[in-house]
Amino acid sequence: MQYFIQQLINGLTLGSIYGLIAIGYTMVYGIIGMINFAHGDIFMVGAFAALIVFLILGAIFYSVPVVIALLIMMIVSMLLVSLYNWVIEKTAYRPLRGSFRLAPLITAIGMSIALSNFVQVTQGPRNKPIPPMISQVYNIYGISISLKQIVIVLVTAILLVIFWYVVNKTALGRAQRACEQDQKMAALLGINVDRTISITFIIGAALAAVAGTLFLMYYGVVVFSDGFVPGVKAFTAAVLGGIGSIPGAVIGGLAIGFIESIWSAYFSIDYKDVAAFSILAIVLIFLPSGILGRPEVEKV
């Protein structure tokens, strides 16, 4: 039982990271119907930005309180990655809006290849390990919970509350939901559709940047190719939750996190990615609209 709860906690941590990335996929899919394949690499760039900020802080100051260091890493990484996604959207996706469906997917794949290789070229192909930032571990009834895990879950929860507020209570969120339903009508009613889409990309990137920072803090290592697998898993999460639905993305992320940690604990750690990919296939085949998604009506 303790072992099981332990796995649930590990899964919750993983799932929080996947959920944060999945929101970016689901929002972009909801608003322009495109799989932003480069989103996983955006997450990886976020982790690298956090890594570099961490090293700068270490080089300049003798010691920085961990909370402040983490906060600075997150904020810088969010700003940088938002800028990346904004530029990418403007140069690679916007010119193709209204083109045939495959076109933006292809540019997104190209962007994904370009981003990961850009980081490889500029930062080198090796693993980048950092010393552990937080090492406290609490032991409650034989279940060990590390402070890292608590931080991850807490940060995710706070971000989700802020994010929920933005989407549901502000003019920006209303504009976003309007664009999602009908871009032409939204434009007629005076919503700047292009700007709204840009902001969607920026928000998605910022959340991915936080996920990247947390990923770096949790695993203590990052490498240029780290974008692909978490990216696909987060996409799986978005699909599992019902693509286009934001609470669905979080639920899907948690579900994928749980499945992955329980699978690695009880079955085979070698095949944990196979499990994640199989879930993706099974969900799409048998439950294409996901847990919280609206079923798509086929129109002629």
Partner 1 sequence: MAVAESSKLASGASNISTGLREAFYAGLIAFFMFVLLIGLKTDQNIHNELIIVPRWGLLAVVVLLTALGRFLQVVYLTPFLAAQKITDTKTGMRPTSVALRFFSKRNLVIALVIGAVLLLAGGTLEAAVGPYWSVYLGMLRGAAIIYVLAWVIFYFRNFIGAHSYSLGFAVLVLYPVAMVLLFGFQGSLKWVDNFGIQILIYVMLAWGLNIVVGLAGLLDLGYVAFYAVGAYSYALLGTHFGWSFWILLPAAGAMAAMWGIILGFPVLRLRGDYLAIVTLAFGEIIRLVLINWREVTNGAAGVSGVPKVSFFGLMSFNVSDPNYIAKVLEIPQSGAYYKIFLYYLILALCILTAFVTIRLRSMPVGRAWEALREDEIACRSLGINTTTTKLTAFATGAMFGGFAGSFFAARQGFVSPESFIFLESAIILAIVVLGGMGSLGGIAVASAVMIGGTEILREMQFLKMIFGQDFTPELYRMLLFGVAMVIVMVWKPRGFVGSREPTAFLKERKSVSGEFTKEGHG
Q: Which stretches of the chain bind partner 1, using CB under 8 A?
A: 34-35, 45, 48-49, 51-53, 55-56, 59, 76, 80, 83-84, 87, 91-92, 95-96, 99-103, 105-107, 109-115, 117-124, 126, 128-131, 228, 232, 235-236, 239, 268, 270-271, 273-274, 277-278, 280-281, 284-285, 288, 298, 300
**Stretch (H or E) spanning 129:** strand 128-129
Query: Coil, strand, or helix at residue 201?
Result: helix
Q: How many CB atoms lie within 10 A of CB 230?
A: 23
Q: Which is nearer to partner 1, 17 or 119 (CB)?
A: 119
Contact criterion met (CB below 8 Å) for 234 and 18:
yes
Q: Which two structure tokens, joined as six digits, stand for 223?
A: 């490498």
User: Any alpha helices (H) in the chain, and if so which ranges?
Assistant: 2-32, 39-60, 66-88, 102-123, 147-169, 171-181, 183-188, 193-219, 228-241, 246-266, 272-286
Contact criterion met (CB below 8 Å) for 131 and 63:
no
CB of 201 to partner 1, least distance (A): 15
CB of 145 to partner 1, least distance (A): 28
CB of 23 to partner 1, least distance (A): 17
Q: Which is nearer to partner 1, 183 or 236 (CB)?
A: 236
CB of 43 to partner 1, least distance (A): 15
Q: Which is nearer to partner 1, 185 or 274 (CB)?
A: 274
Q: Which is nearer to partner 1, 38 or 186 (CB)?
A: 38
Longest dimension (CA), the chain: 66
Question: Over the range 79-108, which residues count as b (16 or more CB within 10 Å of their CB) and which as e?
Answer: ebbbebbeebbeebbbebbeeeeeebeebb
CB of 197 to partner 1, least distance (A): 17
Q: Which is nearer to partner 1, 55 or 154 (CB)?
A: 55
CB of 71 to partner 1, least distance (A): 17
Contact criterion met (CB below 8 Å) for 137 and 147:
yes
